[in-house]
């Protein structure tokens, strides 16, 4: 499945474990406030179970492929998560994912992230048009 709009992505986020996704993105926002792509990767990395409930091993790749056209190569690579341990951003995403499982704070609501998703999608769209 390839997502074509932020609206489609928002629907998937609402269908999944979005509280966990919100906490992951919020933790990444705290540690890397200027890195919107990393934050967005933290938000969307958990859509795999919604896309492929029975394919546990293929969830990360399925989620990554779903957002690739909409959010770009970097978000694709981060969500896929199979980069080496030297990739700081992938490591930070994994750490935030683990920390968010036990973190007990109010991370807001999904609508708070709509604008950030739209900005990343628009930036990717403009870059794609130039390439």
pLDDT band at 102; cut points 50, 70, 90: confident
pLDDT for the residue 54: 66
pLDDT digits (tens, 9 = 90+) for 36-49: 999 999 999 888 88
The reply to whether the predicted model has a pTM over 0.85 is yes
pLDDT band at 83; cut points 50, 70, 90: low
- Ranges of each domain in the chain: 6-129
Residues 6+ apart with CB under 8 A from 18: 46, 110
Q: Which residue has the higher pLDDT, 129 or 122?
A: 122
**For residues 56 and 50, what is the distance between their CA atoms, to the nearest angstrom?**
11
Task: For residue 75, give Cα distances in angstroms to 66, 71, 103, 106, 113.
Answer: 11, 6, 24, 25, 15
Residues 6+ apart with CB under 8 A from 100: 20, 23, 24, 26, 27
CB atoms within 10 A of CB 41: 31
């Amino acid at each position: 499945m390839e997502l074509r709009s932020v609206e489609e992505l928002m629907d998937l986020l609402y269908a999944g474990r979005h509280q966990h996704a919100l906490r992951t993105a919020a933790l990444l926002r705290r540690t890397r406030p200027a890195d919107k792509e990393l934050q967005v990767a933290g938000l969307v990395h958990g859509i795999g179970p919604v896309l492929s409930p029975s394919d546990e091993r293929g969830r990360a790749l399925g989620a990554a492929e779903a957002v690739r056209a909409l959010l770009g190569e970097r978000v694709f690579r981060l969500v896929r998560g199979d980069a080496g341990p030297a990739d700081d951003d992938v490591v930070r995403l994994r750490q935030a994912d683990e920390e968010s499982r036990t973190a007990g704070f109010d991370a807001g609501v999904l609508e708070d992230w709509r604008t950030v998703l739209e900005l990343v999608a628009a930036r990717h769209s403009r870059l794609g048009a130039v390439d």
